[in-house]
Every structure is written in C-alpha cells, then in structure tokens.
Amino acid sequence: AFIGITFLHIVFGELGPKYTAIANPLSISLRLVRPLGAFYVLFKPAIWLLHRSSNFLLQTVLRRQPVPSTELVHSEEELRLILEQSEKSQEVSSLGRSLLMNVLDLRDRVVRDIMTPRGESVYLNLEDDFETKVKKAIESRHTRFPLCRENLDNTVGLIHIKELLPMMRDPHPDLLKIKRELIPLPEMLPLEKLLKLFLGKHAHLAMVVDEFGGTVGMVTLENVLEELVGDIQDEFDADKEEFRKINENEFAVAGSLGLYELTDVTGLELESADVSTIGGYVTHLLGHLPKQGEQVKIDNYVVTVSQTDGRRVNQLHFRKVSEAPATAPASAKLS
C-alpha cells in the first residue's frame, strides 16, 4: 500500500502537473494565478508563524543565525547556467544570452580595461590658435574633446563640436565660455558604476585618472555600451583587426587587445593587477620596452613581438608549442 501511494503521489501529484505546466507554461500560469494568489493570502499567517518559529528554534536552541532571504535567490553562477540551458532549449536566443552574459560580466571589469589611453586621446589645447583647434577637431571626427592647458594633466573642461563650430563667426572666440564639466574617474572604477554615473549625469565622456591624480586616458559611454552589444561602428570608424587566426596553432593580436578580450577569443586566461592589455602584459614580463622580434613564453605559447613603435607593442604573434624553447623566458605570471 505504501509503495502504491508513493507511486501515485509522485506521478499524479508531482511529475504529471510539472510536465503539463512545462509543456503549456502560459496557459497554465493564466489559469492558476488567481487560485494561487488566494491560497497565498489564505495561508500567509500560517507561513509567517512557521517561519518565525523555525527562526526562533535556530537562534535559541541551535544558536545559529537564520539564512538571510538574499541567499535564497539565484547566484550569478546559477543565472549563467540558467541562460545556457535556456539557449539550448531555444527559450532564449543566442543574442539574448550574449547580452545578458555581458551584463553579468560588467561588474568584473573596470574603466582601465576599456578606456582610450592617454597617448591616443585627442584634446584641444588652449595655447593653440582657434583655427588649429577647429582643424584638429574636424580631422579627428570626434564630437567631444577635453579642453586643456598644454596637456591632459591640466584639463579645464569639455568642448562639444556643435558649440565649437558656430564660434568661427566670432572675431574673438573664447572656448572657456562654452566649456562644460568633464567628470574625473578612477581607473579602477567598475563598469557597472560607470554606466550608472553616465546615465545619471547624462554624460558621454569622462577623464580617467590614476591614484596620483594624473590623467591616464579617456572613456566614453560608447565604450561601455560596446561591452554589452559589441563593436559600434559608424561611417567614420575604420576597421581595426585586433585578432587574426592564422591556423590551429597560430594567431596574431594587436597589442591594445584587452586581457579579458584575449580570454574571450582564445580561451587563454591572463590576469594582472598592473596592466590591462596584452601588449602591456608582454612588456611587464620582459621588464623593458620590447624590440621587434623579441620572444616570451606565456603558458604553452611562444609570443613574438612582430611590430612596435619604440614606445609600445603594436602587434604580437602567438604560436602554440608543446615545450618552451631554451632561450625563451619561462615565467608568465604577474603579481
């Protein structure tokens, strides 16, 4: 009798209703929402009493704290697993899964990972004549520029090109009259907070500073959005190939490729508290500015500096090997 009752309970009380609901989730939900709501209201006092009684037992008899309600929700890893399973069952599209995964990744990345480095940032110098400023702004094809005295360490504000060009009719143009506030940000600020700041202040450009207050680069709202949806290219953006697969054991990357981006495209996981790009990683490993042709061993890859401008690494070549060459440095860990 016990076995029969157990069988009936499992089949008709659990598995049957569950499979029926999975097969017709929308219609079943619409039919049950009101009865379930009524049951919730009816049994809420009893649920509250049982909950408080169990917490009292834990605290007084077992001397343990009850589990916080926040621990009963899904963790980040559980959400990732749910998204993967939902994609396999075609409940979520590949694009939808990718977007949601990128949202979860946002909190693990910082401004330094996506900023435009100082050496590549375009700014307007107050010491230049007005014609030079306008020419520089037009040639850059950007819309927003830091306004500085001589260099980026002396930034006084932000200039928008739509306010700059009308001043060409002014016989005595003064950019200080049209400058806006330029937000300074720490380079280790999480991207999740950066996006919230941009949206809250309706800003599109911010200045990135290091722990000593020196300017290390610029970051835009577009940089953050590209972390969610991928590269955003307009008619002025030139195609930039940061990763090129040569064959199964070889590939080439730009020195400016971020370490986390390298992980995404190759599976090679590199971490460093000091640098954020693969070019900086190789430079740190070598201990000096690399020269063209220099090699370093990273995991089971021999990495060759294939192009450099004397100040930074522009291009790297990765070749997978079973063993490190005798002349190659053996360390690839950065503390």
pLDDT in tens, 62-108: 778 776 665 557 788 888 898 998 888 888 898 898 899 989 888 88
Cα–Cα distance between 103 and 109 in angstroms, integer? 11
pLDDT for the residue numbered 326: 46
Residue with tokens 């806006």: 180
Cα–Cα distance between 88 and 49 in angstroms, integer? 41
Residue with tokens 């090699």: 295
Report, as ranges of residue numbers, the positions in the chain whose pLDDT lies below 50: 324-333, 335
Q: Tell me which DSSP letter residue 230 carries.
A: -
Residue 265, beta-bridge partner list: none
Please choose, from the candidates 191, 261, 188, 271, the residue with its C-alpha nearest in 3D space to the C-alpha of residue 230.
Answer: 261
CATH 3.30.465.10 boundaries in the chain: 243-320
> Is the separation of the CB atoms in 297 and 329 below 8 Å?
yes
> Is the overall model pTM greater than 0.75, yes or no?
no
164: CB partners within 8 A, 6+ apart = 133, 134, 137, 175, 178
pLDDT for the residue numbered 128: 92
pLDDT for the residue numbered 325: 47
Give me 191's structure tokens.
Answer: 């991207």
Please choose, from the candidates 102, 96, 142, 165, the residue with its C-alpha nearest in 3D space to the C-alpha of residue 234.
Answer: 142
DSSP state letters, 121-167:
---EETTS-HHHHHHHHHHHT-SEEEEEESEEEEEEEEEEHHHHGGG
Cα–Cα distance between 110 and 192 in angstroms, integer? 8
pLDDT for the residue numbered 68: 65
Cα–Cα distance between 265 and 244 in angstroms, integer? 10
Q: 111-229 maps to which CATH number?
A: 3.10.580.10
pLDDT for the residue numbered 238: 56
Helix, strand or coil, per DSSP, at residue 109 = coil
Please choose, from the candidates 201, 199, 219, 205, the residue with its C-alpha nearest in 3D space to the C-alpha of residue 276.
Answer: 219
Averaged pLDDT of the chain: 86
**Among the four given CATH numbers 3.20.20.10, 3.10.180.10, 3.30.465.10, 3.40.50.10210, the one describing domain 243-320:** 3.30.465.10
